[in-house]
Amino acid sequence: SQQGEEDPQALSIQEGENATMNCSYKTSINNLQWYRQNSGRGLVHLILIRSNEREKHSGRLRVTLDTSKKSSSLLITASRAADTASYFCATDAGRRALTFGSGTRLQVQP
């Protein structure tokens, strides 16, 4: 897989359920950032986790990072219909340019 690949590609859940998205990458990183994109719109930064961190929380978001497995996960708890969007992980390998994955399309059914 390429740097910053998410799975699943698409996820459909009911409101109130938790959504978990995974990201794998290949090279060493300085940090990993998660972004959200509503259809055809801009990228909204959600959370940044550094290579020396294992877990971070922000509101209903929880991000984990396992550098030994070169993987990260984004958990959205108690999902809402408004969480419907595409979610991307992006890695910073020290060059500052971010490498984005293909994204997970999350559909939250009301």
Partner 1 sequence: EPEVTQTPSHQVTQMGQEVILRCVPISNHLYFYWYRQILGQKVEFLVSFYNNEISEKSEIFDDQFSVERPDGSNFTLKIRSTKLEDSAMYFCASNIRSGGGGETQYFGPGTRLLVL
Per DSSP, the three-state class of 82 is: helix
The angle subtended at Cα 73 by Cα 70 and Cα 79, nearest 5°, is 170
Nearer to partner 1, 13 or 48 (CB): 48
Q: What is the closest distance, in whole angstroms, from the C-beta atom of residue 22 to partner 1 in the complex?
A: 16
Residue written as token pair 């740097």: 3
Residue 50 identity (one-letter amino acid): R
- Whether the CB-CB separation of 36 and 86 falls below 8 Å is answered with yes
**Stretch of residues binding partner 1 (CB under 8 A), selected from 26-34, 53-61, 62-70, 76-84:** 26-34
The reply to whether 101 sits near partner 1 by the rule CB under 8 A is yes
The reply to whether 61 sits near partner 1 by the rule CB under 8 A is no
Q: Applying CB under 8 A, which residues contact partner 1?
A: 30-31, 33, 35, 40-45, 48, 88, 90, 92, 95-103
